[in-house]
Each structure stands twice: as structure tokens, then as C-alpha cells.
Structure 1
Amino acid sequence: MSGYLSAAEALPTAPRRVLIAGVTGSGKTTFARRLASAWDLHHVEIDALFHGPDWTPRPEFLHDVEAFAAEDRWVTEWQYTSKGTDRFLPPRAQLVVWLDYPYRVVRSRLLRRTLGRSILRTEMYNGNVERPIWRLLATRDPDENILAWQTKTLGHWDERMPEYAERFPHLTIVRLRHPREAEAWLARASTGSAS
């Protein structure tokens, strides 16, 4: 679709509510944090709202999503669409930044992140840590293996973004095809020249 803005194009307005889209491993959370800092937005890490202790889904997840979506200024990762977040997030968002990177980039990022977190037993949210490496090697179940999940969902945004653009015509969508484009766009955003 030709309606997406590129890294070099100016935004039509100064957005206050932003969704960061992209496959697992594209760096949505890091990008969202950086954009929140640049634009003084409240960053809500949606994984932390979804996962309770022991990776158990939190029953209040959608209530929490609805509550922050009603706020005036926020940025979050566009995830859990199958869990109902589309009822609240795209209708309220003004901007989508789509991190549409090549497979080799997202795969290498996910491998580094997963291995690092697993080896260091890094706590992420609500007491959860990355599953041990042996569990990744023992299964190809996408619900148990983040690498298999990435493979399963690689084409999600290519398939769905045109539909989202049609369903939510108020959204401005910026498509960034490489981390270099993302860095250039963030640099402009940080100086206030992205809008």
C-alpha cells in the first residue's frame, strides 16, 4: 500500500497516542521507550500488563488496556490483537510506527535477546524470567518457543496492516524498513522535526 509514510516524510500532526508495530524481535519496546522520552509520552509496556507471575495471563489485562488507552498521552507496543486489544488501542491511537525489518535483522536480534536473558536469568516483569535454553531446543511449539513464535508470525503485519489502514483511516502509519531508517526517524523525532 502506498499510503504509508516513509522515514523521510513529515508527520501531518504532533501525535499524542502511538502504537509500535512489528514482529517479535524487532525492538518495539526499546523503540517505544525512546519515543516516550523524546515526546514526553507515558510508555506502557503491554507485556507487563498481560503476563502475571509464572507467565500466567492477568485477568484484568483488557481492563488495564482500556484504562490507559483512555489517557491523553501514551505509547505502547501493538500486541495481543487476538486477545481484544484492538477494541481499545487503534481507535484511540493517532500514529502507528511499523518496524518492518528484514528477517535476518529480527532473527539475530531475537536470538541475542533470548540467549542473553536466559543465561543471565534477567527478570522482565512480575517476577518472570526467560525460559531456559534447553526448553527452547526441546520444542517447536510457538506457545513455548519464542523463536517458533517469531517464525509463525513473520507475515502478520504485512497481511494485516492494509486492513487496519482501511478500518482505522484516522491512523497515520510510518513504515520503517531497516534499523537505520528507525534511527534517522527517531533522531528527527527527538529534535521535534518528525512532525
Structure 2
Amino acid sequence: MKKINVVGTSGSGKSTFSRMLATRLGYPYLEMDAMFWKSNWQESSDEEFFAKLDSTLSQERWVLDGNYNRTVDIKWAGVDHVIWIDYPFSRTIYQAIKRAFIRSITKTELWDKTGNVETFRKSFFSRDSVILWTLKTYNRNRVRYIEMFNDPKYRHIKFVRLKSPKMAKKFINELDL
């Protein structure tokens, strides 16, 4: 296990899991959102994003946190494991709401040197809300990942589906190092 992509709906816990996994393995933790978002919530163009992702993934070992379906051809070309954090909808939406609330109160910068912080208004009363995004993408992501896990074109990848925090903790604790 050298190149790992952790996927899951926003709010599922993929970042927390990814950081724990990277720490346990001693691998770099790579966050796709940090590669994509620029200052003042400006999005990278696909050209910029793909180049940055391709360059970053040239490392020998990593744990990559993030979905961005349009990047699958880049990130899964050399990946050996994809771990899907597939917790129940009720837990995922609860985590998304809790995280948005805490971030909007603390005004914590999400990615270094971007100045990007979540606001209460953006998180709860905007069509750009991460909570709304979670509601809209939860089922769609589940269907997509089930299809991808069964697609013969990805047979070179070991897929792991973790359905609970208990399974996630067990997975990390039982790793052979």
C-alpha cells in the first residue's frame, strides 16, 4: 500500500481518516481541496488543478484526500488503494452540519494562505452551502462509487469500503507496517 485515495461525500470524515492513515503509515497527507481552492474562494482552472495534482502525485507514497470525479484518470492511474468512507446518511449530514457550524464560529482558515473561511451565512443560507452539497451528492456518490468499484477498468486497484467509524479505526489499527 503506497498510493491511497480516500473518497467519500463531504462531511463523511474522509479528511480525519486520511490524516490518521497518513500518520500511521508515515506518508504525506495530500488534500485535493487545498490544491483546488485559491484565495477568496476562487477556483483553479482544470488545467491548473490537473497539473498541480499530477505533479504532487509523482511522489512515491501518499494518502490523497478527495473526490473530484473529473480527476479520476489522473489520480487513479497510479493508485493502488481506494478507501471509501461510506458512513450512513444520518451520520454524514450530522458531521457536515456540526463541522460547518464550528468552522463558521471559529473562522478557521481552511487552507494555508487562502484566507478562505466558512461563514454561517454561506454554510447555512447559500446555494453554495457545503450542507446542501452533502444533501445533493450523498446518494449520487454512493451509486457512482459502487459502479466504479465494479468497473473492470479499475481492476488494478484494491477497493476498501468502510461503513462505520469502528470499521475505519479497525482498518488503521490492523495495518501491517
Question: Fold match, TM over 0.5?
Answer: yes
**Consecutive aligned runs of 4 or more in structure 1 exceeding 4 Å deviation:** none
In 1, Cα distance between the equivalents of 2:121 and 2:43?
A: 23
Letter in 1 for 2:120: I
In 2, Cα distance between the equivalents of 1:172 and 1:78?
A: 17
**Structure 2 residue aligned with 1:134, among 114, 117, 121?**
121
In 1, Cα distance between the equivalents of 2:56 and 2:124?
A: 37
Unaligned runs of 5+ in 2: none
**Structure 2 residue aligned with 1:22, among 2, 5, 8?**
8
In 2, Cα distance between the equivalents of 1:93 and 1:137?
A: 35
**Structure 1 residue aligned with 2:49, among 56, 61, 77?**
61
Matched with 1:80 is 68
* 1:54 positional shift: 0.8
Letter in 2 for 1:128: N
Matched with 1:152 is 136
Matched with 1:36 is 22
Matched with 2:170 is 184
* 1:68 positional shift: 1.8
Q: What CA RMSD, in Å, does the superposition of the two structures yield over aligned residues?
A: 1.5
When the two structures are superposed, what TM-score results if normalisation uses the length of structure 2? 0.90
**Structure 2 residue aligned with 1:114, among 80, 100, 105?**
100
Equivalenced residue count is 171
Structure 2 contact 50–71 (Cα < 8 Å) conserved: yes
Structure 2 contact 33–66 (Cα < 8 Å) conserved: no
In 2, Cα distance between the equivalents of 1:109 and 1:145?
A: 14
In 2, Cα distance between the equivalents of 1:66 and 1:103?
A: 32
* 1:41 positional shift: 1.3
Letter in 2 for 1:170: H
Unaligned runs of 5+ in 1: 1-14
Matched, 1:124 2:110: yes
User: Matched residue of 1:88: which SS?
Assistant: helix
User: Matched residue of 1:174: which SS?
Assistant: strand
* 1:148 positional shift: 0.7
In 1, Cα distance between the equivalents of 2:124 and 2:11?
A: 18
